[in-house]
C-alpha cells in the first residue's frame, strides 16, 4: 500500500508526541516518588540498582555470544540468584532471559522499594545516569566484539563493570569521569539554591553566608547577589560557577550533557523540591536564622514529602 510522505511525517510526529508525553509522565512520577524516602537511603539503593542493571547486561552479552547460558555463567547465577536458575536453564533467548532476570531483580532485590512506592523512581533515575549509560555503551561494544571473536572465557562481572566505567562516553571522557562531573555540578547547584533567598533581595548577607561564599567563590562578592533582579542575580552566579569550575568541560563540548544529567539527577530533584519549600518559608519570615550550607544540605537530603 502506498503511503505518502505527508502521512509518514504525521505518523512520525504523533509517535514523537506520544513518546514525549510518556517521558513527561514517567519523569513526574519519578520526581514524586523520590521524595518518599531520604536521599541517604535512596542513594544506596540507586547505586545498587545501577550495578544490577549492569549485571543484566553482562549476562545478556555472554548469552548472546554463546547462544545460551554457559556453565560458568550458570554457576554465577546460582550463587547470586539462586531461585532464578531454573528460569535461566529453560531460557536461551537473550532478550527473554534479560527480561525475566530484570523482573526477578525488581521483585526479589528491590521488593522493599516497590512496597514503599518508589521503585519507579529507582528505575527511572537508575538507567539514566552516566554509570548505567557506560554499561550500555560497553555492552554494545562487547556485543560487536564477541559476536565475531568467540572466546574460551569471558571476564567476570567485576572486571566487566570496571571496564564499563572506563569506557568513553565522549572522546577521552569515561563514564566514571562523566558521573563525577555531574555529581560535582549537582553539588554546586545545591549551593546556588542555598543562596537563592538572598538573590535580588535588599538584604545584607549573613556573616556565615558571606564566609562560605568567600571560601568557595573568592572572586564572587556577596554584594553581587543583591541589588539586581532575582533572575539576573541567579544567572550571574550560575554563570560564574560554570566559567570558574566547568570551563574545561565546556571546551570539550559535553557540558550540555552535564546540565541535562543534573536536571534529571535524583538528588538535584530532591534539592529543588526542598529549596522551593525553604524559600517560601524564609521569604515569609526573613528574621529566621539562616542555616549554614552543610545544615541546609542535610535538611534537603532528609526531607520527605508526605503524599496522600
Q: What pLDDT score does 189 carry?
A: 97
- The fraction of the chain above a pLDDT of 70, given in percent, is 91
- Residue, of 288 and 93, whose pLDDT is higher: 288
Beta bridge partners of 170: 173
Q: How far apart are CA 288 and CA 295, in angstroms?
A: 14
Q: What pLDDT score does 197 carry?
A: 86
Q: How far apart are CA 130 and CA 124, in angstroms?
A: 13
Beta bridge partners of 173: 170
Among 272, 276, 283, 303, CA closest to 190: 272
Grid coordinates belonging to 25: 509522565
Q: What pLDDT score does 288 carry?
A: 82
CA quadruple 42, 156, 154, 110: dihedral positive or negative?
negative
Q: Read off the pLDDT of each residue in 168-187 and give the average, rounded to a whole number.
A: 97
Ranges 95-104, 242-251, 256-265: which has the least confidence:
95-104
Q: What pLDDT score does 307 carry?
A: 63
Q: What SS3 state is found at 294?
A: helix
Whether 75 shows a pLDDT value over 70: the answer reads: yes
Whether 2 shows a pLDDT value over 60: the answer reads: no
Q: Read off the pLDDT of each residue in 86-100 and give the average, rounded to a whole number.
A: 74
Q: What SS3 state is found at 18?
A: helix
Whether 276 shows a pLDDT value over 90: the answer reads: yes
Kindly report the pTM of this predicted structure: 0.89
Q: How far apart are CA 137 and CA 45, in angstroms?
A: 22
Q: What pLDDT score does 221 carry?
A: 80
Confidence of residue 11 (pLDDT cuts 50, 70, 90): very low
| Cα within 13 Å of Cα(299), Cβ side | 15
CA dihedral angle for residue 140, residue 144, residue 145, residue 146, rounded to 10 degrees:
90
pLDDT (tens digit per residue) in 104-147: 999 999 999 999 999 999 999 999 999 999 999 999 999 999 98
Indicate the average pLDDT of the chain: 88
Amino acid at each position: 500500500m502506498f503511503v505518502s510522505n505527508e502521512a509518514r511525517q504525521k505518523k512520525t510526529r504523533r509517535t514523537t508526541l506520544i513518546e514525549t508525553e510518556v517521558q513527561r509522565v514517567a519523569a513526574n512520577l519519578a520526581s514524586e516518588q523520590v521524595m518518599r524516602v531520604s536521599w541517604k537511603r535512596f542513594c544506596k539503593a540507586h547505586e545498587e540498582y545501577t550495578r544490577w542493571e549492569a549485571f543484566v547486561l553482562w549476562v545478556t552479552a555472554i548469552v548472546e555470544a554463546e547462544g545460551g547460558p554457559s556453565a560458568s555463567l550458570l554457576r554465577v547465577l546460582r550463587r547470586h540468584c539462586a531461585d532464578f536458575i531454573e528460569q535461566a536453564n529453560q531460557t536461551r533467548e537473550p532478550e527473554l532471559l534479560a527480561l525475566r532476570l530484570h523482573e526477578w531483580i525488581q521483585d526479589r532485590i528491590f521488593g522493599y522499594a516497590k512496597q514503599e512506592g518508589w521503585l519507579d523512581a529507582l528505575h527511572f533515575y537508575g538507567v539514566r545516569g552516566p554509570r548505567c549509560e557506560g554499561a550500555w555503551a560497553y555492552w554494545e561494544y562487547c556485543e560487536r566484539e564477541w559476536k565475531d571473536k568467540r572466546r574460551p572465557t569471558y571476564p567476570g562481572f567485576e572486571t566487566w563493570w570496571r571496564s564499563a566505567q572506563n569506557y568513553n562516553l565522549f572522546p577521552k571522557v569515561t563514564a566514571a569521569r562523566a558521573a563525577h562531573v555531574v555529581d560535582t555540578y549537582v553539588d554546586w547547584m545545591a549551593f546556588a539554591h542555598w543562596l537563592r533567598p538572598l538573590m535580588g533581595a535588599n538584604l545584607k548577607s549573613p556573616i556565615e553566608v558571606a564566609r562560605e561564599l568567600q571560601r568557595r567563590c573568592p572572586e564572587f562578592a556577596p554584594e553581587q547577589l543583591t541589588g539586581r533582579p532575582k533572575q539576573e542575580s541567579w544567572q550571574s552566579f550560575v554563570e560564574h560557577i560554570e566559567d570558574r569550575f566547568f570551563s574545561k568541560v565546556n571546551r570539550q563540548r559535553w557540558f550540555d550533557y552535564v546540565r541535562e544529567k543534573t536536571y534529571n539527577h535524583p538528588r538535584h530533584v530532591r534539592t529543588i523540591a526542598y529549596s522551593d519549600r525553604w524559600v517560601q518559608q524564609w521569604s515569609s519570615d526573613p528574621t529566621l536564622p539562616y542555616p549554614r550550607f552543610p545544615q541546609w544540605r542535610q535538611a534537603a537530603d532528609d526531607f520527605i514529602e508526605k503524599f496522600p
